Every structure is written in structure tokens, then in C-alpha cells.
Amino acid sequence: MKWIEYKQQDGKRIPAWKRTLGVSEETGEVFVPAAMAGEQNVLLCAAYDGTAVASNHNHVYVPASWMSREFPDTKELCDIMVARAREALDTE
């Protein structure tokens, strides 16, 4: 897993886990914080579905494609996060 941690914005105190995305080095899938839709609930649903999860900063991350499908309220934010992750990888 490759982790992308975005810099803290001036004047804001955002925890590192909220500013972090994971990208699977095997599949290219972008992983987003499960806490976007309630970490425990998302983790239980992911386990039930057999969906891969990752852990970083003591938080759970799930595939953005799965998150946006299972929790449609997160789709717009997931799409933005995937686009930003792709941009970050393209500039490396």
C-alpha cells in the first residue's frame, strides 16, 4: 500500500488520518477513511462483504469504489479523493 498524506492547511488542525489516502500498489485502487460513514459500521459491512481493508494512523481505510457504492452519500467525496490521489501519483 502506498500512502499519500496531504499537508496540513494553514490555520487548520486536521488529523493526519483525515488527510491520508491509500493506493494499492497491486491494483491501483484508492482507499479512503472508513470514518467518512462511521468507521465501525463501515468495517462491519466490509467484513460482511469480504471487502479488503487497510489500516494506517490507527484508522481503517476501504476501497473508494466500494465505499461510494455501499454508502452513496459518500460518492461525491470519494470521487474527489480518487481524483486527488491520481493527481498526486501523476506528479511523482
Flag whether pLDDT at 27 surpasses 80. Answer: yes
Nearest one of 13, 29, 10, 33 to 21, comparing CA atoms? 33
Flag whether pLDDT at 89 surpasses 90. Answer: no
Evaluate the CA torsion angle 29, 39, 56, 76 in order and state its sign: positive
Burial grade of 31 (CB within 10 A; 0-12, 13-18, 19 or more):
buried
Average pLDDT over residues 78-89: 92
Flag whether pLDDT at 10 surpasses 90. Answer: no
Four-point Cα dihedral 72, 76, 81, 87, nearest 10: 140
Report d(CA 74, CA 44) in Å as an integer: 17
pTM of the model: 0.91
Q: Per-residue pLDDT tens for 53-82? A: 999 989 999 999 999 999 999 999 999 999
